[in-house]
Amino acid sequence: MSVRLIDKYAHEFIEKDALAAMEERLIKADAMLKARSEENDYKGWYDLPLNYDTEELAAIERAAEKIRTESDVLIVIGIGGSYLGARAAIEFLRSRYYNIQKKDTPEIYFVGNSFSGDDLDDVLALCEGKEVSVNVISKSGTTTESSIAFRMVRHMMLKKYTNSEIKERVFVTTDKERGALKAFADREGYNTFVIPDDVGGRFSVLTAVGLLPIAVCGADVRAMLRGAANMRRRIDAEGMKNDAYRYAVLRNLFYEQGKCVEILGSYEPSFRMMNEWWKQLFGESEGKDGKGIFPASVIFSADLHSLGQYIQDGKRVLFETIVKQKQVRKDMFIPSNAVDIDGLGFLSGVKMSSVNDEAMIGTLLAHTAGGVPNLIVEYDKRDEENLGELIYFFFIACAVSGYILGVNPFDQPGVEAYKRNMYALLGKPGYEELKEELLTKIHAL
Ligand code: PA5
């Protein structure tokens, strides 16, 4: 058993009656998760680790090998669910310094996740004089951020390579048959990978969306899928009392106590992008119909020196979930100084991991004393299997938590609002009326 939930620091916030009252809603949520519909219910991620398309997986590994052999740089174009998981996994499995470390795998840069020309220009400059491959990822094939970035990157590629060379260097991950990107990839003869129809963006890291870039950094993507499958089997075996369900129940319990912000925290900086991935997963799944826990994140101890004050003493609307890594990759011992100028002589010879652990326990006790319930999600170590388990744990918890909350965890109707306004303001044909309306509004401000 690897990933597990520890709730002993939250016991004082959990009333037995309130927990029992949740039971019926959990039973319903479990039934909703397991129910299958004739229509696309976006639950393809649920069985995916148990019956992955092995041919697709082998093709992903071949493409990753080709990119590793032929390129110094992989540019990954995508946003939201078509971006966060891969970046999070690479930083978690390798390092947040991956790109500047000495290695025999390509540097991996992520673009198309903003409209910033400065940011894109920085990445294009980093590619000068280097062999480049591109993985453009978009399920809809029409997302503006990624489409613009793909145009710019393709223009850079056209200056560098012939059309037939580009064909060998562009890998498109998109819908099996629909969308502008699929049509374009077919026309140009690019390699394509499929995002299954029934897997939504934020649940797609264990498909080609995440697995291709992750495999390029040399990670064992089969072990990730194995980890996810292990978690699934464990959840099935443990039934209603499994840790992912318990996490889903407890966060709803805190929410009903008025704790409407959950802070996901880690004491490992390599987890920073996992925090971002988690925020999208829970934020897009639950924040709707005027409901939902707002997902925030911290990396401790850095953020104890910025947000620590608020967490300890600010408005009491918070609970924390600390993702705890049990084993470090390499421990370091604090050296002794001839003269104890900093007064830390008592730490001479002590492991850094011990300091990190005690900082965590000290903080847990301080924050719970300050009225902030704390849960711990613990994993053993930074490897592919643990990561797969962790990802699947959060998938299940998110789906069940959304159902308990009473929302559909698999849609995201709210994300269209800004897009419509932006298209109108940029003059997209068909949006003329909305443009008039918005300009009138702006001028009246
Ligand atoms: O989770 C989601 O559905 C979104 O975050 C999408 O992944 C994001 O908007 C990108 O969409 P697409 O893959 O269609 O470009």
244-295 pLDDT per residue, tens: 999 999 999 999 999 999 999 999 999 999 999 999 999 999 999 999 999 9
> What dihedral angle (degrees, nearest 10) is formed by the CA atoms of 31, 32, 38, 39?
-170
For residue 219, the Cα-to-chain-centroid distance in whole angstroms is 17
- The per-residue pLDDT of the chain, averaged, comes to 96
Burial class (CB in 10 A: 0-12, 13-18, 19+), 56: middle
Query: Ligand 1 center to residue 215 CA distance, Å?
Result: 21
Output the residue whose Cα is nearest ligand 1's atom 2.
201
Ligand 1 atom closest to the CA of 209, numbered from 1 = 13
> What dihedral angle (degrees, nearest 10) is formed by the CA atoms of 305, 306, 308, 314?
150
Query: Ligand 1 center to residue 24 CA distance, Å?
Result: 33
Q: Is the CB of 143 under 6 A from ligand 1?
A: yes
Closest CA to 227 of 88, 379, 386, 380: 386
Q: Is the CB of 412 under 6 A from ligand 1?
A: yes
Q: Is the CB of 242 under 6 A from ligand 1?
A: no
pLDDT tens digit sequence for 282-314: 999 999 999 999 999 999 999 999 999 999 999
Query: Ligand 1 center to residue 104 CA distance, Å?
Result: 31
pLDDT tens digit sequence for 30-55: 999 999 888 888 999 999 999 999 99
284 is catalytic: yes
State the Cα angle at 197 between 401 and 271, rounded to 5°.
Answer: 50
Closest CA to 77 of 68, 87, 69, 67: 87
pLDDT tens digit sequence for 143-202: 999 999 999 999 999 999 999 999 999 999 999 988 899 999 999 999 999 999 999 999
279 is catalytic: no
Query: Ligand 1 center to residue 225 CA distance, Å?
Result: 22
Q: Is the CB of 285 under 6 A from ligand 1?
A: no
The residue whose CB lies within 8 Å of the most ligand 1 atoms, and thus the one to mutate among 137, 142, 143, is 143
Kindly state the average pLDDT of the residues 408-426: 89
Determine the pLDDT at residue 1.
63
Q: Is the pLDDT of residue 411 over 70?
A: yes
Closest CA to 111 of 89, 83, 88, 133: 83
Going by pLDDT thresholds of 50, 70 and 90, the confidence category of residue 136 is very high
> Could you give the residue ranges of the DSSP H alpha helices within 42-83?
44-47, 54-70
Catalytic residue among 107, 145, 276, 284: 284
24 is catalytic: no
Ligand 1 atom closest to the CA of 146, numbered from 1 = 15
Kindly state the average pLDDT of the residues 91-97: 97
Closest CA to 19 of 235, 239, 254, 244: 254
Q: Is the pLDDT of residue 412 over 90?
A: no
Residue % of the chain over a pLDDT of 90: 93
Element (H, E) at 397: helix 384-405
Ligand 1 atom closest to the CA of 284, numbered from 1 = 1
State the Cα angle at 363 between 297 and 282, rounded to 5°.
Answer: 20
Determine the pLDDT at residue 248.
98
Query: Ligand 1 center to residue 81 CA distance, Å?
Result: 5
Q: Is the CB of 85 under 6 A from ligand 1?
A: no
Query: pTM for the full model?
Result: 0.96
Determine the pLDDT at residue 39.
87
The residue whose CB lies within 8 Å of the most ligand 1 atoms, and thus the one to mutate among 45, 140, 288, is 140
Catalytic residue among 28, 167, 176, 419: 419
From CA 133, how far away is CA 66, in angstroms rounded? Answer: 10
Tokens of 61: 């590994």
